[in-house]
């Protein structure tokens, strides 16, 4: 362990447990080496935590030695402060490679791969993620002609599905934070309040944290659309004042040590129309029925099918999935990008999995989001947040 390491989120033995699980998956897929460019997977395998994912970086995981961190040279110190490996396993590339159309960082990565004697291995790369480009792949192919490359997308993501005891502690702290954030919204929101002022309070509460546990920056900014804007799923905020007679949904997340608990609630200022009350009642009934299926041994599709059937009895249709796994993440997404609560997903639920149950529906003049972060436990599920359920009305 580097002597300059900052406060670690996990003991070294937890990283080695993760590596052992991942190597079993690598062997099953026929890979000798993984190049991990997803910062969530980099962090989960090595502990690396820094806002450097806008440049090319990776953690290399071989079968027979500790992981290797590779990235921009000025970020190598950040690696020494956060990863569990020794300094010899940290390698930085020269700044002349940064955003230079004539020099690509993958040329340096290929040099490093050769230096370790890995140039003729079967190498897995994360082909389908936000951080690995077509140019990066073509440069690796050009510079590592003896290697066999294959798609390793999701190999590490799937190992992250069942959380450790410490990870669940962090998820609970994140849930406490998002509960406080929603409490603050209900306390402060009123007609005439500029939306950006309320979002500033949301951020303040989220970063301040709860119970002595700090809030981290979330992977997604607050979604806070009102009125017709709330007919869309992913609009943020502006300086428009809150208005009587409008709904606003707040999709936000508490975050602690990169672990996320997202949760949504809908606020209506004034007396809500009957169709909003009817829709909310349908959502609550469908949610209760669906979460009865959120237990070990059931499949993801069991949750979705019951939700959709129950919602349909009330005349509402939800075409999108109604949940996805959550945990460790970096921008631009707090999901784990593996399974989903939707028809056809036959992934078996296991204790220790955590999800954002997301039964949002959008009407012709607004939207309703009443969502829950949940933990699959030994017999069923647990709602991680203490936020009261239902439509929030301030009349």
Q: Which residues, 6+ apart, have CB-to-CB distance to 181 below 8 Å?
A: 202, 205, 206, 252, 254
pLDDT at residue 355 tops 80: yes
Task: Give pLDDT, residue 343.
Answer: 97
**Range 165-394 has CATH code 3.40.430.10:** no
- Do the domains at 12-159 and 165-394 have one common CATH topology? no
Q: Which residue has the tokens 């190992």?
A: 159
> Is residue 310 a contact partner of residue 286, using CB atoms and an 8 Å limit?
yes
pLDDT digit string, tens, across residues 247-279: 999 999 999 999 999 999 999 999 999 999 999
Would you list the domain boundaries of the chain?
Answer: 12-159, 165-394
Q: Under CATH, what is the fold of the domain 12-159?
A: Creatine Amidinohydrolase; Chain A, domain 1 (3.40.350)
**pLDDT > 90 in the chain, percent:** 95
Model confidence band, residue 8 (pLDDT cutoffs 50, 70, 90): confident
- Partners of 353 in the β-ladder: 162
Nearest 5°: CA angle at 391, between 389 and 393? Answer: 125
């Amino acid at each position: 362990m580097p002597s300059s390491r900052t406060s670690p989120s996990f003991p070294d033995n937890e990283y080695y447990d993760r590596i052992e699980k991942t190597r079993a998956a690598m062997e099953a897929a026929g890979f000798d080496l993984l190049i991990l460019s997803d910062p969530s997977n980099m962090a989960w395998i090595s502990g690396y935590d820094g806002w450097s994912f806008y440049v090319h970086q990776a953690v290399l995981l071989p079968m027979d030695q500790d992981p290797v961190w590779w990235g921009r040279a000025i970020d190598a110190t950040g690696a020494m402060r956060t990863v569990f490996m020794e300094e010899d396993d940290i390698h930085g590339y020269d700044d002349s490679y940064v955003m230079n159309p004539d020099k690509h960082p993958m040329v340096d990565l290929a040099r490093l791969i050769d230096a370790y004697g890995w140039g003729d291995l079967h190498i897995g790369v994360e082909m389908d993620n936000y951080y690995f480009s077509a140019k990066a792949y073509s440069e690796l192919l050009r510079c590592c002609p003896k290697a066999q490359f294959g798609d390793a997308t999701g190999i590490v993501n799937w190992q992250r599905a069942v959380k450790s005891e410490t990870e669940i502690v962090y998820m609970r702290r994140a849930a406490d934070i998002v509960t406080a954030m929603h409490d603050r919204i209900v306390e402060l929101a009123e007609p005439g309040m500029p939306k950006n002022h309320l979002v500033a309070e949301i951020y303040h509460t989220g970063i301040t944290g709860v119970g002595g546990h700090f809030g981290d920056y979330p992977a997604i900014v607050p979604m806070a659309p009102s009125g017709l804007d709330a007919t869309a799923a992913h609009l943020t905020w502006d300086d428009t004042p809150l208005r009587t007679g409008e709904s606003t949904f707040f999709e936000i997340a508490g975050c602690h040590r990169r672990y996320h608990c997202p949760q949504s609630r809908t606020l209506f200022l004034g007396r809500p129309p009957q169709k909003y009350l009817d829709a909310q009642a349908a959502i609550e009934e469908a949610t209760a029925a669906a979460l009865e299926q959120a237990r070990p041994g059931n499949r993801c599709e069991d949750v979705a099918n019951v939700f959709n059937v129950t919602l349909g009895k009330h005349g509402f249709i939800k075409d999108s999935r109604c949940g996805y796994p959550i945990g460790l993440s970096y921008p631009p997404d707090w999901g784990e990008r593996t399974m989903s609560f939707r028809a056809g997903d036959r992934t078996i639920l296991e204790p220790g999995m955590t999800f954002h149950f997301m039964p949002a529906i959008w009407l012709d003049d607004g939207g309703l989001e009443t969502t829950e972060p949940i933990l699959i436990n030994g017999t069923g599920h647990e709602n991680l947040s203490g936020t009261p359920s239902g439509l929030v009305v301030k009349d």
